[in-house]
Amino acid sequence: MDDQSNKVCRRHHPEYGDLAWKPFSSHASEDREFDVPINTSSKSFAEVVVFEQSGVFVLTMPGRLEGKTAIVTGSSSGLGRAIAIAYANEGASVCCVDLYPAPRNTINLVTGKADDFNHRTTGQATHEFLQQAGKRAIFVKADLTVASDVETAVEACVREFGRLDIIANNAGISVESTHVKPLRIHETSEEDYDQTMAINAKGIFLGCKYATKHMLAQEPLKNVDGTEKSRGWIVNTASVQGLVPFYGTPSYCASKGAAVMLTKQVALDYAGDRIHCNALCPGFLKTSMTQNLQSVPESLATINASHPLGGMGDPEDVARAAVFLASDDVKWMTGVPLPVDGGYLLR
């Protein structure tokens, strides 16, 4: 049998462009028909084994975000960290933006509830984890409520990677989750409301503002056939609590409702420029933000029962949807608040 291990067969597909495959059989032929697009110049590959009558083939496929550059805010912990890792694994260069590089501490040992946002652990920073894995990633410190910080972060990303294709405006807080008991609106401080709105709503506003500026100015990426891709992909993290209320969270619900409507408004304004703007609406995830529920057995049982598809979710469950919303698969989709909620909204 001939040694086919180093041979790469190539042909041009009228729809997908240049294809390549590695045959693992002496029966392999360059005349084989394939429907899977392959780009061997890609730096990020996924291997798929395909069994055919003429032999076994290992197909090397580029990641769904190959060639794109992404900013992920709130990247140090929880959902933001999961999104940054998912984007990098799909081939994107990632600019991690947060107030701190280190992960957030999960539990306040005194209250047993979610710890203050500013309390951090000594765990490995997201960008360092990605760099260690051979991915392209940097960290930029930014207060996402300050316009100049957000503008500087976007410029740092463009300076490092040459462009900006995706921004995941994920940074968010729930001050209410740090309290020892739920507070209704007459008990909620103005400070809690202002801080929540500043990060959860204004932070998205600023991220969209400065990202769209660069997306409009740069040349769009090209498809394999030479046609232009969309100019940009914006993925805002809202919540199911931006669609339906939850007890004792007036500030958080208001901020996530604002995130949903801002997503729709930006989508409308920039649809003509082929900049997609969609929102993730996660259900309750097992992160530091929900320790107030996870730390009480009765509350945990109730919230798990509210998610018919297996209880509370993991950040990775939502990160998969974030990849979809940043990919070419949303070619004809914008302005959608997408629930990724384990069936929470079915109740």
How far apart, in whole angstroms, are the C-alpha atoms of residue 108 and residue 177? Answer: 11
Rounded Cα distance, 98 and 81, in Å: 10
- Torsion, Cα 279 284 285 290, to 10 degrees, reads 120
Answer for the pair 340, 322: CB distance below 8 angstroms, yes or no.
no
Active-site option among 87, 193, 210, 252: 252
Cα(280)–Cα(187) distance, integer angstroms: 29
Phi-psi group of 114: left, alpha or beta (phi > 0 → left; psi -120 to 50 → alpha; rest → beta): beta
How far is it, in rounded angstroms, from Cα 312 to Cα 310?
Answer: 7
Active site residue 252: yes
CA distance linking residue 102 with residue 82, whole number of Å: 14
Q: Which residues are catalytic?
A: 252
